[in-house]
Amino acid sequence: MVTDLFDSLLQELGEAMEIEDLHADANNTCLIVFETSLEVYIEPHEKGDFLLICTDLGRVPPGRYREDVFREALKSNGLPYPRNGTFGYSEQSDHLLFFELLSLKELNGEKIATFLYPFMEKALVWKQSIEGGEVPVADTMKTGRTTGPAGLFGLRP
């Protein structure tokens, strides 16, 4: 992605979220630290057609607790759209990550902001659960789909 496009998206995002002076660092990454202490990294994806949005949810200690957290993360990854992010594990840092790739096609700051609010909400719940030693629960987010005028399987309530 051209740096000018990334800078433009950051400027638009800053305006949409009322955050002053969003800009990329020397590594072409923008770190936003929110009042909740959640840190969100935004950077162009290496393939160039996507914007990577990521947050580090912290270290998950090995053992049964880690297995339970990973099981819930996998359940969450299997939820239907919109699941507001994907969980991943970094062996290098031993941390659970939460990320999403947004297509650059027709992307603007307002669309990024609209995505970020539920992304951050879910990330914060998981981060706080992990910090408290609790197992987060894969949510059952609504898919936004309706069953149509006849209801499920053509039946009416």
Expressed as residue numbers, the domain containing 41 is 3-137
In a domain, 114, yes or no: yes
In a domain, 38, yes or no: yes
What CATH number did the domain enclosing 69 receive?
3.30.1460.10
User: Would you write out the chain's pLDDT as a tens digit for each of its 157 residues?
Assistant: 456 889 999 999 999 999 988 999 999 999 999 888 899 999 998 877 899 999 999 999 999 999 999 999 999 999 888 888 999 999 999 999 999 999 998 899 999 999 999 999 999 999 999 999 999 988 744 333 333 344 444 444 4
* pTM as predicted: 0.82
- Cα–Cα distance between 123 and 84 in angstroms, integer? 9
In a domain, 78, yes or no: yes
Cβ atoms < 10 Å from Cβ of 137: 12
In a domain, 145, yes or no: no
In a domain, 151, yes or no: no
In a domain, 146, yes or no: no
Q: How many structural domains is the chain composed of? A: 1
